[in-house]
Chains A and B, each alone.
Chain A
Amino acid sequence: MFFQLENSPFWQAIADIMSFILNVFRPIVQPIGTVLVLIINFLLNFFPSENITIYVVIFCVLVGSAIFVNCKWPGDVYLSVYKKEGDKSSEVKEKKPSIVEYLDKKAEKKPEAKFPEEIEATNDSEEEEPNL
Chain B
Amino acid sequence: MSFSKEKIKKTLENAKIKNMIRGVIFATIYIITTIVIPFLTFSWVMSLEIEGVDLELYQDRYNQIIFFVLAFGLLISGTAFFAYSSPSQSIRRGVFSLIQIILNCFYLWSYKFSGALELELVLVDMGVVTIDLAQMILTYMGIYFLVVILKTYDLVDFIVNRNKIKYERGKKR
Contact = CB atoms under 8 A, between A and B. Distances in A.
A37 B109 contact: yes
B146 A29 contact: yes
A40 B16 contact: no
B16 A33 contact: no
Interface in A14-64: 22, 25-26, 28-37, 40-41, 43-44, 47, 49, 52, 55-56, 58-63
Q: Chain A: interface residue count, which band?
A: 35 or more
A41 B134 CA distance: 14
Interface residues of B, number: 52
Contact of A70 (B19, B109, B136): B19
B170 A29 contact: no
A41 B112 CA distance: 10
A74 B77 CA distance: 20
Nearest to B17: A74
Interface stretch (B54-62, B121-129, B151-159, B160-168): B160-168
Contacts of B74: 55-56, 58-59
**Most chain A beta carbons < 10 A, residue from B71, B86, B171:** B71
A74 B167 contact: no
B163 A65 contact: no
A67 B170 contact: no
Nearest to B99: A62
Nearest to B170: A78
Interface stretch (A79-87, A107-115, A119-127): A79-87
Contact of A75 (B87, B109, B141, B142): B87
A33 B77 CA distance: 24
Contacts of B15: 74-76
B85 interface: yes
Given A55-B70, A59-B77, A74-B15, A82 B142 contact: no
Contacts of B109: 37, 40-41, 44
A78 B70 contact: no
A21 to B, nearest CB: 9
A100 interface: no
Interface of A: 3, 22, 25-26, 28-37, 40-41, 43-44, 47, 49, 52, 55-56, 58-63, 65-67, 69-71, 74-83
Which A-B residue pairs are the 9 nearest by beta carbons? A78-B170, A75-B87, A29-B142, A62-B78, A33-B141, A33-B142, A82-B167, A32-B142, A33-B138
